[in-house]
Amino acid sequence: MMELAPLTLYGRAWCHLCDDMRAALEPLLAEFGAQVQVIDVDSDPVLEARYNERVPVLLCDGVELCHYYLQESRVRAALAARAAGVAGVQEEAS
């Protein structure tokens, strides 16, 4: 299980694409034991200016993976790489 939410989803409460991306993301979250932090861009003028009509935008550890629609292969690769890194750190600590 990952200790922090590696994924950040920038979106809007009234955005159907944001809802669609969140729903499409759920199986990957369950598969990798990951979490996603959902941030409403309308709650912060800086975020609103930055993302505005590009939402939803999904990031992993600050790196943009996709926007508008979930690119499952990119998200899967990012979560797998992160999980491998976490496993490697745990093995070194043993």
User: Whole-structure pTM over 0.75, yes or no?
Assistant: yes
User: b/e string for 66-87 if b means 16 or more Cβ within 10 A?
Assistant: bbeebeeeebeebbeebbeeee
**pLDDT tens digits, 35-92:** 999 999 999 999 999 999 999 999 999 999 999 999 999 999 999 998 887 554 444 4
| Predicted confidence band of residue 94 (pLDDT cuts 50, 70, 90) | very low
pLDDT digits (tens, 9 = 90+) for 10-43: 999 999 999 999 999 999 999 999 999 999 999 9
Domain ranges of the chain: 7-93
Per-residue burial over 23-45, b if 16 or more Cβ lie within 10 Å, else e, is eebeebbeebebebeebbbbeee
- According to CATH, the topology of domain 7-93 is Glutaredoxin (3.40.30)
